Structure 1
């Protein structure tokens, strides 16, 4: 039960952080140094890792939901003074794939 709650809480907290940071108009955000694409990989990979501490099947569903939300964000962004880019979607998905690899090879064996 505790792992289930931790996994669900990680998913919700990650959703809120990513949604706020990607759907806030650019002029309302502080400048952040570094590569935009790297920010996407780290942000979405971090969100997926926050959801990785629980059953693998549920994590797979959450990872797919994260990828879908990443795509939806890119479609929404042009309407809120942001830029929607396919390259951002690819970076989002790359972060999720990296988190999935960490889950299956590092986290999952330790959860048993």
Structure 2
């Protein structure tokens, strides 16, 4: 495994663990922080796929569906840990996945365009 792949995998795993803790653990971030719960969901789940979108875009074919399913599972689990499981939260997760995938692709394109000109 290359250093870039190892870095991307480690960062993705760290983000998955962080999002899991923030979504099913004790509330450490107020629901109205960062413009509300839906924005938090979009940012959190988007953050999970962003490193792969920038450094390993081929991984997105399996990572995006897996994270989308993970978001749905999180909403189901939240109902059993005293938090609200909402369809709207899962939809916010999906929006975050789409936006982060697109933004990551744009960052990757801009980076490689800059590197190839140097």
TM-score range, shorter chain: 0.7 to 0.9
- Within-5 A mapping of 1:15-30: 15-26=16-27, 29-30=28-29
The size of the alignment, in residue pairs, is 110
* Larger radius of gyration between Structure 1 and Structure 2: 2
Q: State the alpha-carbon separation in 1 of the partners of residues 101 and 30 from structure 2.
A: 29
Please give the per-residue CA displacement for 1:58-112, whole angstroms capped at 9, x wherever unaligned: 1331122111111110111100001100000000010010011112233156358
Task: Give the gaps of 5 or more residues in structure 1.
Answer: none
Correspondence for 1:54: 55
Is structure 2 residue 30 aligned with structure 1 residue 31? yes
CA RMSD in angstroms, aligned pairs only: 1.9
TM-aligned CA deviation for residue 3 of structure 1: 1.4
TM-score, scaled to structure 2: 0.81
Correspondence for 1:91: 92
TM-score, scaled to structure 1: 0.85
Please give the per-residue CA displacement for 1:15-64, whole angstroms capped at 9, x wherever unaligned: 100000001144xx353523111111111112221333333221331122
Is structure 2 residue 109 aligned with structure 1 residue 104? no
Query: Residue 6 of structure 1 contacts residue 54 of structure 1 at CA under 8 Å; is this kept in 2?
Result: no
